[in-house]
Amino acid sequence: MMVKGSFGYILIIVGLIVVVDYARSQQANLHTTQLADDEVHFNKSLEAILVPRVVGSRGHQQVRNYLVTSLKALGFQAEVDEFKQSVPIFGELTFANVIGYINPQAQNFLALACHYDSKYFAEDPGFVGATDSAVPCAILLNTAKTLNNYLLQQFRNRNDLGLMLIFFDGEEAFRDWTSTDSVYGSRHLVTKLAQTRSPTATSKGPGTRRIDRIEVLVLLDLIGARNPTFSSFFENTDGLHSSLVQIEQTLRASGQLEGNNKMFLNRPAGGFTDDDHRPFLEENVPVLHLIATPFPANWHTPNDNAANLHWPSIRNFNRIFRNFVYEYLRRHSVPIDLRFHRR
Ligand SMILES: [Zn+2]
Q: Is the peptide bond before 294 cis (omega within 30 degrees of 0)?
A: yes
pLDDT for 7 beyond 60? no
* Residue 63 included in any domain: yes
pLDDT for 5 beyond 50? no
Ligand 1 centroid – CA 275 distance (Å): 9
Pick the catalytic residue: 221, 238, 304, 327?
A: 221
* Residue 102 included in any domain: yes
> Tens digits of per-residue pLDDT, 45-64?
999 999 999 999 999 999 99
Ligand 1 centroid – CA 131 distance (Å): 9
Give the pLDDT score at 33.
67
Q: Residue 172 and residue 128: Cα distance in Å, rounded?
A: 13
* Residue 10 included in any domain: no
Count of structural domains within the chain: 1
Q: What is the CATH number of the domain that holds 308?
A: 3.40.630.10
160 in catalytic set? no
How confident is residue 343, by pLDDT bands cut at 50, 70 and 90? low
Q: Is 104 helix (H, G, I), strand (E, B) or coil?
A: coil
* Residue 343 included in any domain: no
pLDDT for 167 beyond 70? yes
How confident is residue 156, by pLDDT bands cut at 50, 70 and 90? very high
Beta bridge partners of 95: 83
Q: Residue 292 and residue 298: Cα distance in Å, rounded?
A: 12
* Residue 30 included in any domain: no
Sequence-ordered alpha helix ranges (H) in the chain? 7-21, 39-49, 58-73, 135-146, 148-150, 184-195, 238-253, 278-282, 311-331
Domain containing residue 133: 37-331
pLDDT for 191 beyond 90? yes
Tell me what percent of the residues of the chain surpass a pLDDT of 70: 87
Give the pLDDT score at 128.
98
Pick the catalytic residue: 171, 212, 215, 327?
A: 171
Please, what is the Cα angle at 334 between 23 and 219, to 5 degrees? 45
Beta sheet of 214-221, edge-to-edge order: 77-87, 91-102, 161-168, 108-115, 214-221, 287-291
The predicted model scores a pTM of 0.90
Ligand 1 centroid – CA 22 distance (Å): 33
> Tens digits of per-residue pLDDT, 83-132?
999 999 999 999 999 999 999 999 999 999 999 999 999 999 999 999 99
Give the pLDDT score at 204.
67
Q: Is the peptide bond before 6 cis (omega within 30 degrees of 0)?
A: no
Ligand 1 centroid – CA 127 distance (Å): 11
Burial of 56 (0-12, 13-18, 19+ CB in 10 A): middle
Q: Residue 118 and residue 110: Cα distance in Å, rounded?
A: 25
* Residue 31 included in any domain: no
Ligand 1 centroid – CA 104 distance (Å): 30
How confident is residue 192, by pLDDT bands cut at 50, 70 and 90? very high
Give the pLDDT score at 2.
30
Mean predicted confidence (pLDDT) in 319-325:
98
Ligand 1 centroid – CA 257 distance (Å): 28
* Residue 20 included in any domain: no
258 in catalytic set? no
Ligand 1 centroid – CA 97 distance (Å): 17
* Residue 340 included in any domain: no
Q: Residue 61 and residue 3: Cα distance in Å, rounded?
A: 43
